Structure 1
């Protein structure tokens, strides 16, 4: 027996030992977490799928960086995936949820390099092999942190399937893909302009560059025509790059410069002559309409240079300093130093027209936030055109994206995609499996390392040297859906796990890696498995703070999920995130909301303790027997249970996570706890054993099946309660089936009768509240059922004892044509007129005076609100949803005033008549 299911106190009676008075999440979560992992509860058998015994359902976890720590985005992502996986197990499917981490090349190398810096060392001091060994040591010590945090979230992953993007199997897959793509001509090596980070000293793909608004300067510079016939004024934000200019471009339809096209200008400070060319790319409206062309340091200029066959002259090296191609006076200067000197020299020579403030967008490294420098170097690329075409055509035909609005973004990126630079000038990662002969230059690309590096060249027998670069981290991540399942297998055989669970069912991820990862997985999955990697992609929203601002450490508004778990428990955090996870809408999170749902956990716990105190064992009556002549409460709660089953199932299948949580919250708190449990107490405490046993059966049925429905969202508290319920033979709730449907329990009449009953009780409670009547004071009740339908009188008569209990009534006169005195609190519920006689209950004079004050306050509020809504500035300028809220508030105030005014008039009339 696992420690999770062992009795806490075997000497105590079952119901006393079953659940302690207070729920302590830390203890429960630790015990059940160990139990699930030790017992391999979530490890499926592929043979169940391959034999046709079960349908497959699979998810691969978006692998967090091995350097990462759990944040709210992770917490949301894990919660939603876990809901799906736990629900699908309830549906009888064989569920595989693959966990793992990404080696995060640049990020991890930066972490270890910072450690070395504290020791006064650089990676070059260690050498490549020793440095990589140092990174592996770091990974062994710290790399499991994020995995343990995933455990804290209660994620029902298959830990026996855990993968790492640098483990042996995935490394084999990476090499296999690289070699095949190279053989197909889809990977090539060549000089190209790339995004270069001088700090990380590596190339970056386009989507690894983040653009941030910056305040800069726009410099206008004179470029004099070589024939002395005038000058062109060129505008630039980067004067230091002009030292590598090879042309000036103007728009062919720009009449200001028609005379200059085909001529040459003298490049300031350099003195060489460069041509004036015409190209429709030039924006006539920007700057002066004359654009300097520096192909080595601007992506668009690079493209223009290739079109017009212009030379490429790099003047900035890979560390951000001016190189030997710059004039001698500027060599060795940093970019910033060079800019200052260039501007000063231009001004001294009368070539600087002016400098203006200029706001523009600047590319930054997504890791270290250094400004990106376009840089020409020899790199490896994937020719993505053919791959992107297939990935585009697969959506939505084979893969659907939820919400569908993200399809457009997906298409736009694939339609405008450029070849993918996959080489990185770092050491931590998958080293490119390519070797060059040092004698003849022969390039060899193969899966296995050459057996003899010293004489391995197949062409001349010369020595081979492997590429120093490693592959972009996203290259290995792109293979994740199939590499984690054992591809390529041994001797060409497809692994059972891949046969059973690929394609995966759904990918749950954030919109920020739609390009980095989702599209690339689509490309690689289709190309190497001839199937899309997932049928659905669910894009979850951002978790923001309660004001809707993005969480950031610099702002100080970050809510740490681990702190929230420590304070309120995992279930409270998970339920909060689920309750606000409406498709396509960001989550506004606050600690108060998490604390609020901790009260919900307590409510569930206490309702279970109440049930167990009234369940000495499994009830003798079956549910069918319990339904014979069942009271309204039992018929109604079973009807609602069936409706909730339908609601939970449809909401889960349609990714309406917030509807799952909100529907269960309403059912458990408002209906089961606040209404059913209170109504059931009469039967549970009655002398009639048959009636008591029937209600116990209903109580146990609803509680146990509700735990199953709630389990995917709140796995820990539900499992703990389930483990002590009487009559439950299999204590493993995580493997319990979804509750069977009972169509015979659905009853529209029970729902109608209960709504009427609740309306009557609610009306009496409202009258009591509005008139500030002591909650302990018992009231008389008169109900005219004449217009309420045939069953109204029977409902109230049969349940008069419950009305007395729930509404604090000491006498009830029910029937058609009944009426109350003028001085009564009144309401109408579905045609029935409710009267609560107030004589002897309320001091009429004092109440009239109190209502005067209340009406006065309402008049002031109404005047202020009407003034606000009638003000043109508010009505015309405020957002429509804000105006709608204010109008709704106005309607509520007017309704409240009407009710209080009517009551006051009746009280005044009663006073006048001496009633």
Structure 2
């Protein structure tokens, strides 16, 4: 059995190396009553009913009148430790013969729980699994943290420090709350709850929805659009976006395999907000105001957006499914919920395209910083000189100069290793 995070392995080992006998009886008013029956001589048998107990007493030539059942109840964990078995085959413990469901589902893949009940539940399920089934009950245990208040206290009714979840959902949406909390919670760490996390999640939901609205606003009436991933190989922004999606798929898959959900959601967040919305959409916009994105480009953008919704769905299922159903007409069996997870395609992950686009991004950022430093209006055209280490880099920049010219107001652009600095200039390295 693997623990995630691995640090909890030492806690588990400490418990097991110092294990003590387990008293299974509890003096409570509720619970599973202990199925032990006593006669007048304090002999006892275990039986489901009084009639069954009486027959057992008779078979042993013991007194079978005035029987009484044990007044104690079983410890809650006494029934819970059989959970991996009893949910599929309640009779297995009695018969020793597993039914088809138990054979199919046991052991299960993952258990998600809190470290506070590691010994009460997790360890005892493992013990019961090996004792009664001869095998571990699950392959992995993922331990989550607890949502606490800003002071680090556990939320409770007596302290009055727990927000109303229904009110939060009405204010920020279920997806927004989930997103905000996942974003701020590394594996196994407690989460000091702050409503600003929900605001962050809601803002991201709005960003995703507005990106979808922008794409649909560019659809011409009466034209049939078919989202696809057929990129224009001469368009660096297409190649770069395709590579970033593949890069993110690989990263998220690795994070899922290692149960780092917090890292996975950050990768998806950055891909959607930073890459798709802030860069790809800006480059996809028509040069002239009032025009629509060309059909072929929009089909590719919609194809990319569908991939983004697949990556987002495990974290924000409602908005991603809503958008998925609106991108194009789909039947129930084509819902995002049952669609295949995107597969990594290494042929679309071009490291050279990623490096080149990163260089162009840095140049755009530098130009914007210079404007801010010397207080030049974004609309004022700049005369730009870029000195490169070699001619190959210069040629690559000039080939894709449209990225710079689309995102910055540029009057003229000179690029090369021999470019000389003008007498008056502002620079960035």
Scaled by the length of structure 2, what TM-score is found? Answer: 0.89
What corresponds to 1:715 in structure 2?
A: 317
What corresponds to 1:571 in structure 2?
A: 175
What corresponds to 1:409 in structure 2?
A: 11
| 1:486-525 correspondence runs (5 A) | 486-488=89-91, 493-525=97-129
SS where residue 827 of structure 1 aligns?
coil
What corresponds to 1:319 in structure 2?
A: none
What corresponds to 1:702 in structure 2?
A: 304
1:811 CA drift (Å): 3.6
Shift in alpha-carbon separation, 1:604–1:684, aligned structure 2, 3 A: farther
What corresponds to 1:529 in structure 2?
A: 133
- Asked if 1 retains the 8 angstrom alpha-carbon contact of 2:5 and 2:143, the reply is yes
What corresponds to 2:26 in structure 1?
A: 424
How many Å separate the matches in 2 of 1:779 and 1:548?
53
What corresponds to 2:279 in structure 1?
A: 675
- Asked if 2 retains the 8 angstrom alpha-carbon contact of 1:571 and 1:713, the reply is yes
SS where residue 784 of structure 1 aligns?
strand
1:445 and 2:32 are equivalent in the alignment: no
1:457 CA drift (Å): 4.3
What corresponds to 2:70 in structure 1?
A: 467
How many Å separate the matches in 2 of 1:812 and 1:665?
34
What corresponds to 2:84 in structure 1?
A: 481
What corresponds to 1:826 in structure 2?
A: 427
| 1:96-175 correspondence runs (5 A) | none
Per-residue Cα deviation, 1:468-517 (whole angstroms, up to 9, x for no partner): 11111111111111111233259765233212111111111111111211
1:633 and 2:237 are equivalent in the alignment: yes
1:773 and 2:376 are equivalent in the alignment: yes
Counterpart selection for 1:659 from 243, 263, 280: 263
Shift in alpha-carbon separation, 1:483–1:433, aligned structure 2, 3 A: same
Per-residue Cα deviation, 1:309-359 (whole angstroms, up to 9, x for no partner): xxxxxxxxxxxxxxxxxxxxxxxxxxxxxxxxxxxxxxxxxxxxxxxxxxx
What corresponds to 1:590 in structure 2?
A: 194
Counterpart selection for 1:538 from 142, 145, 148: 142
What corresponds to 1:649 in structure 2?
A: 253
How many Å separate the matches in 1 of 2:254 and 2:201?
23
Counterpart selection for 1:603 from 192, 199, 207: 207
How many Å separate the matches in 1 of 2:409 and 2:330?
38
How many Å separate the matches in 1 of 2:420 and 2:114?
62
Unaligned runs of 5+ in 2: none
1:563 CA drift (Å): 3.0
1:523 CA drift (Å): 1.4
- Asked if 1 retains the 8 angstrom alpha-carbon contact of 2:229 and 2:304, the reply is no
- Asked if 2 retains the 8 angstrom alpha-carbon contact of 1:683 and 1:692, the reply is no
1:685 CA drift (Å): 8.4
1:782 and 2:384 are equivalent in the alignment: yes
How many Å separate the matches in 1 of 2:107 and 2:288?
52
- Asked if 2 retains the 8 angstrom alpha-carbon contact of 1:545 and 1:558, the reply is yes
- Asked if 1 retains the 8 angstrom alpha-carbon contact of 2:184 and 2:197, the reply is no
SS where residue 242 of structure 2 aligns?
helix
SS where residue 778 of structure 1 aligns?
coil
How many Å separate the matches in 2 of 1:731 and 1:772?
52
How many Å separate the matches in 2 of 1:494 and 1:474?
22
What corresponds to 1:760 in structure 2?
A: 363
1:441 CA drift (Å): 2.8
How many Å separate the matches in 2 of 1:820 and 1:556?
66
How many Å separate the matches in 2 of 1:452 and 1:553?
44
SS where residue 427 of structure 2 aligns?
strand
| 1:70-85 correspondence runs (5 A) | none
| 1:233-248 correspondence runs (5 A) | none
SS where residue 420 of structure 1 aligns?
coil
What corresponds to 1:733 in structure 2?
A: 336
Unaligned runs of 5+ in 1: 1-398, 829-915
Shift in alpha-carbon separation, 1:643–1:454, aligned structure 2, 3 A: closer
1:660 CA drift (Å): 0.8
| 1:42-53 correspondence runs (5 A) | none
1:781 CA drift (Å): 2.8
Shift in alpha-carbon separation, 1:538–1:454, aligned structure 2, 3 A: closer
What corresponds to 1:804 in structure 2?
A: 405
Normalized per residue, which structure has more helix? 2
1:670 CA drift (Å): 0.4
How many Å separate the matches in 2 of 1:788 and 1:553?
67
Shift in alpha-carbon separation, 1:510–1:452, aligned structure 2, 3 A: closer
How many Å separate the matches in 1 of 2:288 and 2:66?
88
Shift in alpha-carbon separation, 1:621–1:468, aligned structure 2, 3 A: closer
| 1:34-433 correspondence runs (5 A) | 399-433=1-35
1:810 CA drift (Å): 3.7
How many Å separate the matches in 1 of 2:112 and 2:132?
22
How many Å separate the matches in 2 of 1:784 and 1:492?
78
Per-residue Cα deviation, 1:654-690 (whole angstroms, up to 9, x for no partner): 0111111110111100000000001011389899x9x
- Asked if 1 retains the 8 angstrom alpha-carbon contact of 2:35 and 2:70, the reply is yes
Shift in alpha-carbon separation, 1:418–1:784, aligned structure 2, 3 A: closer
1:428 CA drift (Å): 1.6
- Asked if 1 retains the 8 angstrom alpha-carbon contact of 2:246 and 2:349, the reply is yes
Shift in alpha-carbon separation, 1:414–1:406, aligned structure 2, 3 A: same
SS where residue 326 of structure 2 aligns?
coil
Shift in alpha-carbon separation, 1:621–1:630, aligned structure 2, 3 A: farther
Shift in alpha-carbon separation, 1:426–1:454, aligned structure 2, 3 A: farther
Per-residue Cα deviation, 1:701-733 (whole angstroms, up to 9, x for no partner): 210011011100110000000011127564411
How many Å separate the matches in 1 of 2:39 and 2:157?
50
- Asked if 1 retains the 8 angstrom alpha-carbon contact of 2:228 and 2:302, the reply is no
How many Å separate the matches in 1 of 2:314 and 2:227?
29
How many Å separate the matches in 1 of 2:178 and 2:276?
21
Shift in alpha-carbon separation, 1:771–1:408, aligned structure 2, 3 A: same
Shift in alpha-carbon separation, 1:783–1:496, aligned structure 2, 3 A: farther
1:580 and 2:184 are equivalent in the alignment: yes
How many Å separate the matches in 2 of 1:417 and 1:477?
19
- Asked if 1 retains the 8 angstrom alpha-carbon contact of 2:309 and 2:324, the reply is yes
Question: Radius of gyration: which is bigger?
Answer: 1
Shift in alpha-carbon separation, 1:452–1:657, aligned structure 2, 3 A: closer
